């Protein structure tokens, strides 16, 4: 390698004027691990897949080729073996943000199964008895409402949604989630001029590695300040933007 991994990451961070606390807020990597990576104190890292994952995530956040640097770490430090040693359970701090795409899809399948079972139970036991009743009587056999009374009308589900499109003005890292927490842009780096979307959902949450991006909300350009620091927003069904704090921004990791 012409330059060492830690020096490459530290120089890229300093060029962009980003503090380690900002990197931690977006990537959820502990500051001690970030300092160890920049100082190449590999013994302070949990090693194996965790160390490679930290390097890949940190480099990607800075706009570098995370896969290449992770591969260089594997070759130069692990000797190309790729052994996943010392898988310390506490290596990654639990994140309140959304889970990865695969875990989120599995979670939604489980939730759908629970809802379906609950619906079956409600139909089978309408009055909360021990199962003696088989089912509700057909709608046409139910007694008519008393005079002057009207049948309650169930509320209609909301059909409101908003569209979002993104255009990178320069190289920018983006994490965009829909109203179900599913990643639409999963921690990707868009090159200058690259576009993503349009996406449509009831609401969105989004993080940008910097302000070099144009965001169209229902066809209208949102006002995003020009900044080299990370920034994030929530977007409701009416297209209203609310700026998010460091701890509220989605991370896609």
With b for 16 or more beta-carbon neighbours within 10 A and e for fewer, the 95-114 pattern comes to eebbbeeeebeeeeeeeeee
- The full DSSP string for 81-129 is --------TTSS---SS---HHHHHHHHHHHHHHHHHHHHHHHH-TTS-
CA atoms in the 13 A half-sphere facing the CB of 25: 18
Contact 58/5 with Cβ under 8 angstroms? no
**Residue bearing the bigger pLDDT, 245 or 155:** 245
Contact 230/26 with Cβ under 8 angstroms? yes
Measured in residues, the chain has a length of: 253
* Per-residue pLDDT at 37 exceeds 90: yes
d(CA 193, CA 136): 59
Give the predicted TM-score (pTM) of the model: 0.41
Question: Could you report the per-residue pLDDT of 44-76, keeping only the tens digit for each?
Answer: 998 778 889 999 999 999 999 999 999 999 988
* Per-residue pLDDT at 142 exceeds 90: no
pLDDT at 149 (0 to 100): 52
Mean pLDDT of all residues belonging to the chain: 76
What would the mean pLDDT of 132-158 be, rounded to a whole number?
49
d(CA 119, CA 117): 5
Q: What letter would DSSP give residue 152?
A: P
**Residue bearing the bigger pLDDT, 17 or 169:** 17
d(CA 87, CA 91): 8
The residue behind tokens 């990865």 is 100
């Amino acid at each position: 390698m012409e330059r060492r991994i830690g020096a490459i990451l530290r120089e890229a961070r300093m060029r962009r004027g980003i503090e380690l606390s900002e990197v931690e807020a977006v990537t959820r990597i502990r500051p001690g691990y970030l300092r160890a990576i920049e100082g190449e104190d590999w013994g302070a890292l949990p090693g194996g897949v965790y160390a490679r994952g930290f390097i890949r995530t940190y480099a990607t956040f800075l706009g570098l080729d995370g896969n290449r640097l992770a591969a260089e770490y594997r070759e130069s430090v692990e000797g190309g073996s790729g052994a996943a040693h010392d898988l310390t359970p506490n290596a990654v701090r639990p994140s309140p943000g959304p889970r990865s795409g695969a875990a989120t899809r599995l979670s939604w399948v489980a939730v759908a199964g629970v809802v379906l079972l609950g619906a079956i139970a409600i139909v089978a036991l309408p009055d909360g008895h021990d199962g003696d009743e088989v089912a509700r009587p057909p709608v046409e056999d139910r007694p008519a409402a008393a005079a002057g009374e009207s049948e309650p009308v169930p509320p209609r589900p909301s059909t409101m949604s908003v569209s979002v499109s993104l255009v990178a003005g320069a190289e920018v890292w983006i994490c965009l989630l829909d109203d179900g927490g599913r990643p639409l842009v999963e921690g990707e780096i868009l090159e200058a001029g690259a576009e993503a979307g349009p996406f449509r959902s009831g609401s969105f949450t989004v993080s940008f590695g910097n302000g070099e991006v144009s965001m169209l909300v229902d066809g209208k350009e949102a006002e995003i300040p020009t900044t080299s620091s990370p920034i994030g927003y929530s977007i409701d069904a009416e297209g209203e933007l609310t700026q998010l704090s460091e701890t509220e921004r989605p991370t896609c990791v």
